[in-house]
Amino acid sequence: MSEALVSVRGLKTYYSIRGSFLDRLIGKTGAAVRAVDDVSLDLRKGEVLGLVGESGSGKTTLGRTLLGLVPATEGSVTFEGRDITKLHERELRDMRRRMQIVFQDPHASLNPAMTIAQAVGHPLEIHGLTNDRDTLRARVSEALERVGLAPAEQFMDKYPSDLSGGQKQRAVIARAIILDPVLLVADEPVSMLDMSVRAKILELMLALKNDFNLTYLYITHDLATAKFFCDRIAIMYLGRIVEIGPSAAIYEDPKHPYTQALLKAIPEPDPRRTVPRDLPRGEVPDAARPPLGCSFHPRCPRAFEVCGWEARDLKDLLETRWAHMDEEGYEAEQAAIGPVEELDVPEIHARLPVNGGGRGEDVRAILDRAREADPAEPFWTGVSRIADVDGHVEVDWHEPVEPRLLASGPVEVECHLYDEDALAEAARRRGAGNP
């Protein structure tokens, strides 16, 4: 195992959501989006690490925090022996010669008013490495030919609008390697390109890696290209790494239910396949109000007692039920329960009906019918108590157990299914008697 080029420890990057004027006046801080929420990982010299997740998973923020483009809230990023989260802008700028980034959209990455030669040579000027026109042009020409824009003369005086998407991305890569970096963060470098040119750009990046001894952080939502490109894969969900390990292990035997779902959902050009039916419901939740316990539990088909079930999950359950009912049925149930928005809170206790609802016995009947309609729904494992108390129904959920990233064979995974302690705790609570 080679040594780490970048060591990330306990990294948190929060974006604060501005509160009201009054909040600021009295010094109350607003809510925060936990874009990166306690991530630790090593980027080893010469490897390609894939950072895979859906939009909103925090993968792009993690990539940018690594380069010092976004300030870290907590934790450290050690690059060549220095913690870049503690550096000043001036020191960072020097470091950036060693670490470069390629963005997703090649059309937006190039200034339309600059020729290709100006754009690719720009970093040399910014860092004051050369002022001599001939040297500059020679370096640019060399970089262009290295990325396959050959003969370079043919491209140097063109503008980005004269180039195809693939050619633009090659120019962007030329600009990134002209400073001889050691680390390249590639944020979805091929996802805006046509299928027929994606392979060419990936091949180019692999060739450059070998020639220049580069280390890549490959950020993507696409597990198919990552399989081909990466030595190791880290799966991110709502700011956390939920599974990390060698590519082969992740693809052959995905552990986390989220990883399994991502793999199943990829549309394959195989006519024997049909649209997968057993997919997680819903979408990535709001990172400003993450679910209790494991963030994935509301969508997880295998979630159980201690995964973090709560009032918001009851709201989702009722809403999903109502979406498939006729109008009369829905209206009667809705009136009995009351405004479900009141359940939109991260609590493990709820009292029904909520304000202005109907009678407790009607609520009880609705819950019984919902459970009867789908007894295998994992939500019901999380309910520890349903009791009739003074004309109301009280629902309690099991106290969540916070998930931990633990070794499981060749990978590390953050899921209670692989955590003996969590499984034992769940068994103990099950034994204590569900309603």
Q: Find the shortest distance in angstroms from Cβ 382 to other proteins.
A: 21
Which segments of 46-187 are extended strands (E)? Answer: 48-52, 74-79, 82-83, 99-102, 183-187
Chain centroid to Cα 167, Å, comes to 29
Joined tokens for residue 137:
């042009």
Q: Find the shortest distance in angstroms from Cβ 318 to other proteins.
A: 8
Q: Find the shortest distance in angstroms from Cβ 188 to other proteins.
A: 12
Annotate 196-217 with b (16+ C-beta within 10 A) or e (fewer).
ebbeebbebbeebbeeeebbbb
Q: Closest CB to other proteins among 330 and 380?
A: 330
Q: Find the shortest distance in angstroms from Cβ 305 to other proteins.
A: 25
How many other CB atoms sit within 10 Å of the CB of residue 22? 8
CA distance 44 to 208: 17
Q: Find the shortest distance in angstroms from Cβ 425 to other proteins.
A: 29
Q: Closest CB to other proteins among 227 and 430?
A: 227
Q: Closest CB to other proteins among 83 and 322?
A: 322
Q: Closest CB to other proteins among 181 and 353?
A: 353
CA distance 368 to 379: 13
Instruction: List, as own/partner pairs, every contact residues 22-28 make where C-beta atoms lie below 8 angstroms and the sequence separation is at least 24, other chains included.
Output: none
Joined tokens for residue 119:
């754009």
Joined tokens for residue 393:
């129904």
CA distance 358 to 109: 58
Q: Closest CB to other proteins among 227 and 351?
A: 227
Q: Is 148 left (phi over 0), alpha (psi -120 to 50) or beta?
A: left
Residues forming the site for other proteins (CB under 8 A) = 54-55, 148, 164-167, 194-200, 202-203, 221-225, 227-228, 251, 261-277, 279-281, 283-284, 319-320, 322-327, 330, 334, 340
Task: Pick the closest to residue 231 from 242, 220, 218 (CA basis).
Answer: 218
How many other CB atoms sit within 10 Å of the CB of residue 435? 12
Q: Closest CB to other proteins among 262 and 307?
A: 262
Q: Closest CB to other proteins among 15 and 330?
A: 330
Q: Find the shortest distance in angstroms from Cβ 80 to other proteins.
A: 32
Q: Find the shortest distance in angstroms from Cβ 209 to other proteins.
A: 14
Q: Closest CB to other proteins among 130 and 260?
A: 260
Q: Find the shortest distance in angstroms from Cβ 56 to other proteins.
A: 8
CA distance 145 to 181: 18
The 3-state DSSP class for residue 389 equals strand
CA distance 165 to 110: 11
CA distance 244 to 415: 12
